[in-house]
């Protein structure tokens, strides 16, 4: 993978492309139709929140704030118009992520037909674990994703239930956006998303490979 230090991908990766509605049970719980092609949106690098650097901050004016645990794919080699069978060799590794969502902002945007920018792209909206090597996660298509709030299990899903596979997602995205080394692709969240409030604590994990914990506060 060209010898780059992917452990620091958060600091030099340029693009974060997220996939919405990639688990049928999550579509059902929010009353959304199952998509026939990947639903994409983007998050800025300023949304990253590394473990140990501070709490998750609920954005100003938000009254319905949700957790969404996801597997992130760290790109290792440039992907432009790649085929599905080329994808896995171009992945540097993985990360456990939380796609924090201002659900009330999102619902308002959906009603108006406007972008989800405020709902998804605010500061601290992307808590992220350390870099996970491909050796540590040999089978990303069959790994448990879990999330607890105040030690109560909320999400407990498996990447085997994705609607669109990792090779399909990366190939599809690369037809429209050139993915560069260090870029991150979020692959969607399983069912069980729900609200968190100031004072809560979120713990998330990827099987028994890695876990992370963040406190939640209100941004002043």
Q: Which residue has the higher pLDDT, 30 or 168?
A: 168
CATH number for the domain spanning 80: value is 3.90.850.10
Number of helices and strands in the chain (H, E): 6, 16
Q: Is residue 64 part of a domain?
A: yes
Residue 53: inside a domain, yes or no?
A: yes
Is 1 contained in some domain? no
pLDDT of residue 16: 98
In a domain, 167, yes or no: yes
Pick the closest to residue 145 from 201, 188, 87, 100 (CA basis).
188
Whether the predicted pLDDT of 57 surpasses 50: yes
| 162 domain-assigned | yes
**Span 152-169, pLDDT tens digits:** 999 999 999 999 999 999
The per-residue pLDDT for range 67-119, each reduced to its tens digit, is 999 999 999 999 999 999 999 999 999 999 999 999 999 999 999 999 999 99
Per the CB < 8 A criterion, the answer to whether 126 and 43 are in contact is yes
Confidence of residue 3 (pLDDT cuts 50, 70, 90): very low
Q: Please state, in angstroms and as integers, the Cα–Cα distance from residue 188 to each residue in 83, 114, 158, following that order.
A: 21, 21, 11
On whether residue 188 sits in a domain, the answer given is yes
Q: What percent of the chain has pLDDT over 70?
A: 98
For residue 5, the model assigns a pLDDT of 86
Tell me which residue range forms the domain holding 181: 6-218
Q: Euclidean distance between the first and final Cα of the chain, in Å?
A: 42
What's the pTM value of the predicted model, to 2 decimals? 0.96
| Largest Cα span, the chain | 47
- What's the mean pLDDT in 59-73? 98
Q: Taken in order 36, 38, 40, 46, is the CA torsion positive or negative?
A: positive
pLDDT at 208 over 90: yes
Number of domains in the chain: 1
Cβ distance 133 to 93 under 8 Å? Answer: yes
The candidate with the shortest Cα–Cα distance to 65, out of 127, 9, 113, is 127
């Amino acid at each position: 993978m060209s010898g780059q230090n992917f452990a620091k991908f958060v600091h030099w990766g340029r693009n974060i492309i997220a996939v919405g509605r990639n688990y049928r049970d999550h579509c059902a719980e929010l009353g959304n139709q199952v998509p026939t092609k990947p639903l994409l949106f983007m998050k800025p690098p300023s949304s990253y929140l590394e473990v140990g650097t501070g709490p998750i901050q609920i954005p100003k004016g938000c009254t319905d704030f949700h957790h969404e645990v996801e597997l992130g794919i760290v790109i290792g080699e440039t992907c432009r118009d790649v085929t599905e069978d080329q994808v896995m060799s171009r992945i540097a590794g993985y990360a456990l992520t939380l796609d924090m969502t201002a659900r009330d902002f999102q619902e308002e945007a959906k009603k108006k037909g406007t972008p989800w920018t405020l709902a998804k792209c605010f500061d601290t909206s992307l808590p992220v674990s350390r870099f996970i090597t491909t050796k540590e996660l040999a089978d990303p298509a069959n790994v448990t994703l879990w999330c607890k709030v105040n030690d109560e299990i909320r999400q407990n899903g498996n990447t085997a239930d994705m609607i669109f596979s990792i090779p399909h997602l990366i190939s599809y995205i690369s037809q429209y956006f050139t993915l560069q080394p260090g870029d991150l692709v979020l692959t969607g969240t399983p069912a069980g998303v729900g609200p968190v409030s100031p004072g809560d604590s979120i713990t998330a994990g990827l099987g028994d490979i890695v876990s992370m914990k963040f406190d939640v506060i209100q941004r002043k």
